[in-house]
Chain A
Amino acid sequence: MLGEYSALRLLKEGLTGNRGWKMAWRKPEPKPAYDVIIVGGGGHGLATAYYLAKLHGITNVAVLEKGWLGSGNIGRNTTIVRSNYLLPENNRFYEHSMKLWEGLSRDLNYNVMFSQRGVLNLAHTPEQMDAHAVRGNSMRLNGIDAELLGREEVAKLCPGIDMSMDARFPVHGGLLQPRAGTARHDAVAWGYARGADRLGVDIIENCEVLGFRRDGAGRINAVETTRGEIKAGKIGVAVAGNSSVVLLQAGLNNLPIESHVLQAFVSEGLKPLIHTVVTFGAAHLYVSQSDKGGLVYGGDIDGYNSYAQRGNLPVVHNVHGLLASLFPNTRRLKLLRSWGGIMDMTMDGSPIITKSPIDGLYVNAGWCYGGFKATPASGWCFAWTIARDEPHDLNAAFTLDRFQRGHMIDETGHGPTPALH
């Protein structure tokens, strides 16, 4: 049994040379068969395995990861957690996620450094203030905290912002969700991995799925992997940007998904400058400051199909232009790191958590930009759907066939052009 993490344990280990720490999760050999296999050892896959074991009593579970644990988007995001949506389906789902976030460190006995520092969406026109009021009211009707701030309140909350009325996009106010914030992304993957492992889940790294096997009745019953064939009663796929590739191997083609690259950036470290997460309203920019002091920020996706985990220069240029426009004092700041992650962009900007048309196969995909904050609720709902063979109310709307039925959940009203979501 692996030890609990606590202040007392930290003190004890500190006094005895830190020789008592064990690996946070095992490195088991794959067994020939499992009740459930989750393809994809990122945040969503690990959370799914954790909730399957913890809430549904299904512990004979394997998580298959082609690289090392958490090597995909769970470690490639800007760590923002919020539930400030307009549409009720999204509001309810992301608010459930927010509530799970609020108890996550305690639940996992792992500090995910969830920091409810607030997310502030700026408005730059009176019309945008109206739109924020509508969204704030929609949130409050769903029991979510939202506050509409005027210019003075924004200036007080975020002293670095260019508040002059002759700015290119003067700030009129903003919508604040005080309970929103950031979390330590790697810790989320590690915490869920450790939690699932302790409940008996096998986490198998360096194990790429190459194909799926079906029985005579057409039900999927095994996966072919780089470490041999593994049988399973049910198989859940949570592979984000690679959804189209992996699900094609299972016989699901023509998904409503395009894979796009989204870049993110970290600046050199600074003294405390930005105390909340701030989003620019006149163009797409979101920025926060990490505990180490670096600004963490990003903007639009590059806008064309990509599986390369790196982007191109026009977006780099654009994002830094926006940052300098919003926070003029960052103009001489140096960029420390940048990276790209592959987003599974859907045709309405909302996710998919559902049983697939193929027996035994379950799909968790289409997270667009929003996958990180969704991690707990995504795993929670996916585990429910796999265990009970039917969706929970919270993910009942996130089906694959909603596009054909005309029930899109299009938060921004941009239509089937993923680059605009």
Chain B
Amino acid sequence: MIIDCPVCGPRHLAEFSYGGEASRTLVAMENTDREDWSTYVFARQNPRGPHEEHWQHSGGCRSWLQVRRDVTTHRIEAVRLIGPFAGETGS
């Protein structure tokens, strides 16, 4: 698997660390609902097909990326930079 890092270009899977499902959104800190928090921490959609997920280029520029990858074929459909430099480089 090769991930096309928007900063560094196409790099081997071994340079990246997996950050899990990207569809989860952090619960507001003032929210103390047990169900909301347990859903955020433990629940996963785990679809069979296209999957939005986070990766970090930990062996390269250390940027966090959001990747859309088909988990039945390992085919990567889109990669974009997230965090403070989102949108500044590449796609």
Contacts and interface: CB of A to CB of B under 8 A. Distances in A.
Interface stretch (A74-82, A105-113, A203-211, A256-264): A256-264
Given A253-B45, A254-B39, A308 B34 contact: no
Contact of A312 (B13, B41, B71, B72): B13
A416 B44 CA distance: 11
Q: Which residue, of B38, B53, B72, has the highest number of chain A Cβ atoms within 10 A?
A: B38
Interface string B36-76: 00110111111110010101000000000000000111100
Contacts of A242: 48
Contact of A314 (B14, B44, B45, B73): B14
Given A308-B73, A312-B13, A417 B48 contact: no
Contacts of A304: 18, 53, 55
Given A258-B44, A305-B51, A312 B35 contact: no
Given A314-B14, A419-B18, A305 B42 contact: no
A416 B42 contact: yes
Contacts, number: 67
Contact of B46 (A257, A303, A417): A257
A313 B73 CA distance: 15
B44 A256 contact: yes
Nearest to B19: A304
A316 to B, nearest CB: 11
Nearest to B55: A304
Interface string B2-46: 000000000011100010110000000000001100110111111
Contact of A308 (B43, B45, B72): B72
Which bracket fits the contact residues of A?
20 to 34
B41 A416 contact: yes
B56 to A, nearest CB: 12
A312 B1 contact: yes
B35 A305 contact: no
Interface of A, secondary structure class, is mixed
Interface string A287-321: 00000000000000001111110001110000000
Given A304-B18, A304-B53, A404-B34, A244 B74 contact: no
A314 B18 CA distance: 13
B39 to A, nearest CB: 6
A242 to B, nearest CB: 7
Contact of B44 (A245, A254, A303, A308): A254
Given A244-B47, A303-B18, A308 B41 contact: no
A258 B20 CA distance: 9
A245 B13 contact: no
Contacts of A419: 18
A305 B53 contact: yes
A259 to B, nearest CB: 6
Contacts of B55: 304
A254 B43 contact: yes
B18 A245 contact: no
Contacts of A305: 21, 46, 51, 53, 71
Nearest to B38: A404
B42 A245 contact: no
A136 to B, nearest CB: 31
Contacts of A306: 71, 74
B18 A257 contact: no
Contact of A417 (B12, B20, B45, B47): B20
A122 interface: no
Contacts of B45: 244, 253-254
B80 to A, nearest CB: 17
Contacts of B44: 244, 254-258
Contact of A347 (B42, B48, B51): B42
A255 B44 CA distance: 6
Contacts of A417: 20
Contact of B38 (A258, A313, A403): A403
Nearest to A242: B48
B8 to A, nearest CB: 18
Interface of B: 1, 12-14, 18, 20-21, 34-35, 38-39, 41-48, 51, 53, 55, 71-74
13 contacts: A244-B44, A244-B47, A245-B48, A256-B44, A259-B46, A305-B51, A305-B71, A307-B72, A308-B73, A313-B13, A314-B14, A347-B42, A403-B41
Given A244-B46, A258-B21, 7 more contacts: A254-B43, A305-B71, A308-B73, A314-B13, A347-B42, A403-B42, A404-B42
